[in-house]
Structure 1
Amino acid sequence: MNTATNTLSSNPWKQGAKDALPLLGGYVPVAVSFGLISVQSGFGVLETILVSAFIYAGASQFLFVAMVVSGAPFWLVIVMTLLINSRHLVYGPNIAPYLEKDIRWVPLMHLLTDQIFALSLTRMPTMSAKERFRWYVSAGIIAWLSWISGTALGAIVGDELMQRWPLIGEVLPFALPALFLVMVLPRCSDRRWTITMVVATATAMLLKLFGFPNIAIPAAAICGALAYYAIQSQPTNKGAIS
């Protein structure tokens, strides 16, 4: 086991880049879609790119643009953006045990997305503290730059792409959710994770169906986390399989 671990993390910079590359298949199409929608909504190309660089939060960016264009109060825009991103309150405690006490981790949390979080839970337990830092920086920056690059592409030539290949517009919204699903499903290898996924998915779907899409994601994350810890806190029989 130690040999496998050492092989995996012998070059954490390279491993991080290797792990992040598949994310481009989900990040770039959605980022292109955002860039196009943002420019069509009246934002400039530079403004659109800056939104992706500093907010870097997928659904929150689409909501941000829609609310600004609709003339919503700025305080409400901020509150709704934070609400959608409140799932990070669940992510933080889950990866905290793998992070050493280093102030550098604070700004690096800007790179924490749903997909990087899922990757971190898989990779970080197999690495030393120094390797985790290097792996995370490598994977996180590549994912971040791909998102910014996709946004720039969509903002500059997105309209032309949609006119030439209309089918792209139908496919783009499914790219990122599909990628995240592929990454998360392998975690459902035991009772705890399976129930967690079912609870989170059911919560999101019900809220969406009943007309509360803006709180579906954070509520699903919170309910899933509560379900996981509720099951984990239950005493298990010695003969039971966890």
Structure 2
Amino acid sequence: MRTLVVGDIHGGLKALIQVLNKVEVTEDDTLIFVGDYVDGWSEAAQVIAFLTALSEKINCIFIKGNHDVWCENWLETGHVDATWYMHGGKETMDSYNGFSKEEKNMHLTFFKNMPLYYIDDDNRLFIHAGFTSMHGVEKEVFKATYYFDRTLWEMALTMSKDIKEDSLLFPNRLKHYSEIFIGHTPTTNFGFSVPTKAANVWNVDTGAAFKGKLSVMDVNTKAFFQSDALPSLYPNEMGRNKV
């Protein structure tokens, strides 16, 4: 029985299928997705259809990311956020061509049911981006922080490896959880092509929206699996590399 955390997919269905095959997922596994299922590559709607079917066979927890919030709003209201459109929204809207109103409503329900974070029985926090409250994720005032924050990861990266959790210098907001698993800010922005740890924060977004790979990591053993780089799977597309 494994608990597996899955990085940001960004419409890359080919990468998702490839890496899950490498993992050899079984019905005994739990999959925790840290958000951003859409926006980037051309199969966003197909990713959602695949995940809804997968969740009927395997225990899945789907955390909501900022791109998912934008897509949810579009499915519900028809409003096209200008920022969203430029950052993968156009490709997501195009991917819904041929989907019925009923199918779109099913996807809307899928998005609406996503939690903003998840804490497991071992006090491990799974969240898309981060939080800022020194009192823990439950005390966050602005909920959008859960899917937009980058300061948690930036703070963790700047910490010396000599600073232990019992040190007065260890940030209070990190002390609430045994480990924190995030996406949102690609590790490739900092020169890392694999899931990366800083303090007690694990970042599993390895740049699948851009030129990187999609990663899945066993949260207990820290063994990880990766797809091919997304541009090689979608050679006639740019993903979010156009941004």
TM-score, normalization by structure 1 = 0.26
Larger RCO (CA under 8 A, 6+ residues apart): 1
Which has the larger helix fraction? 1
TM-score for both structures, normalised by structure 2 = 0.26
Structure with bigger strand share is 2
